Structure 1
Amino acid sequence: MPNTAANKRVHVAVGVIVNSLGDILIARRASDAHQGGLWEFPGGKVEVGEGVREALARELNEELGILIELDSCRSLIEISHDYSDKVVLLDVWRVTQFRGEPEGREGQPLRWVSPQSLSDYAFPAANTAIVDAIQSAETV
């Protein structure tokens, strides 16, 4: 059976990591990756039998070398986005408590940016709603 957007669904745990200054951590996707060269919020695929917060903790440790406090993570938004080659369900969590200093363990550049300046960066189309949710939360 061929892979089409109708049958290729990817569940992704996404972290909006906030430091003590209120800045948000973003990472640049590798140029050879899907949506390469664009900025993103760190995270990755939820494996079969894995909870979303557990997947988030695993992915953030693998990608950034940080340990997150699961109880402090708060759901921010869920987004389903249909790219031509796959449908992604982004399960986005606000992370405010973590241990360690984030580093790009996969060679990806990282940047701490203010919520207001997120609009200055190019993100995949599915991330637009995340940026909007972050900026809306900041104005409340």
Structure 2
Amino acid sequence: MDREPDVVLGALLRGGRAFLVRRNPAKRANPDIWDLPGGCIEHGESELEALSRELHEELGVHIDTSSAAHLYRLTTGRSDAPAIASAWAVREWRGEPRNYAPEEHTDVGWFEIDALPTPAHPQMRAAFLAGMGALDS
């Protein structure tokens, strides 16, 4: 049975780099790791509506949803409490991304696509790079 995603993530992309956030060490899920920004999809929201809201709340940017391309959908989290994560590449937005959610993230920054930090789940890197490759073809 296919489930709708619980979490949506966004990769702001520019000049061969992706913008990542470092999760707060106090977070219950995936503490103190570099990750794509995003969050939970609220009832009644589409993935892109949630992505737009989350990236505005966390980074202060307004994404152009027409520039978003789906990268991957994976089951993540603990086996007794899995979550479905859906990631999108975003190439157009207004505003300069900054950390507007210090309770969520301790740091933010741009990373070369081929030198991304280790993600929380090993399959995320492979899925991200495969998705990026599909966008470039």
Task: Give how far 1:137 is off.
Answer: 4.5
Matched, 1:133 2:130: yes
- 1:28 matched residue in structure 2: 22
Matched, 1:56 2:51: yes
Question: In structure 1, how many angstroms separate the alpha carbons of the residues matched to 2:126 and 2:83?
Answer: 13
Q: Over residues 71-112 of structure 1, what are the superposed CA-to-partner deviations in whole Å (9 max), with x where a residue is unaligned?
A: 111111111124245211111111000000000111221110
Matched positions, count: 129
Give matches, 1:10-89, under 5 Å: 11-19=6-14, 21-33=15-27, 34-89=29-84
Which runs of 5 or more structure 2 residues have no equivalent in the other structure? none
* Structure 1 runs (4+) greater than 6 angstroms displaced: none
Question: In structure 1, how many angstroms separate the alpha carbons of the residues matched to 2:5 and 2:71?
Answer: 19
Q: 2:120 aligns with which of 118, 124, 133?
A: 124
The 8 Å contact of residues 14 and 56 in structure 1, kept in 2 or not, is answered as: yes
Question: In structure 2, how many angstroms separate the alpha carbons of the residues matched to 1:44 and 1:89?
Answer: 11
Which runs of 5 or more structure 1 residues have no equivalent in the other structure? 1-8
| Larger strand proportion of the pair | 2
| Pair 1:69–1:135, CA change in 2 (3 A) | closer
Across the aligned residues of Structure 1 and Structure 2, the Cα RMSD in angstroms comes to 2.1
Task: Give how far 1:10 is off.
Answer: 6.5
Q: Over residues 14-59 of structure 1, what are the superposed CA-to-partner deviations in whole Å (9 max), with x where a residue is unaligned?
A: 101102x121001100001111101100111000111110000000
Question: In structure 2, how many angstroms separate the alpha carbons of the residues matched to 1:30 and 1:66?
Answer: 20
Question: In structure 2, how many angstroms separate the alpha carbons of the residues matched to 1:53 and 1:105?
Answer: 20
Question: In structure 2, how many angstroms separate the alpha carbons of the residues matched to 1:102 and 1:85?
Answer: 34
Instruction: Give the partner amino acid of 1:28.
Output: R
**SS at 1:26's partner residue?**
strand
Question: In structure 1, how many angstroms separate the alpha carbons of the residues matched to 2:6 and 2:126?
Answer: 16
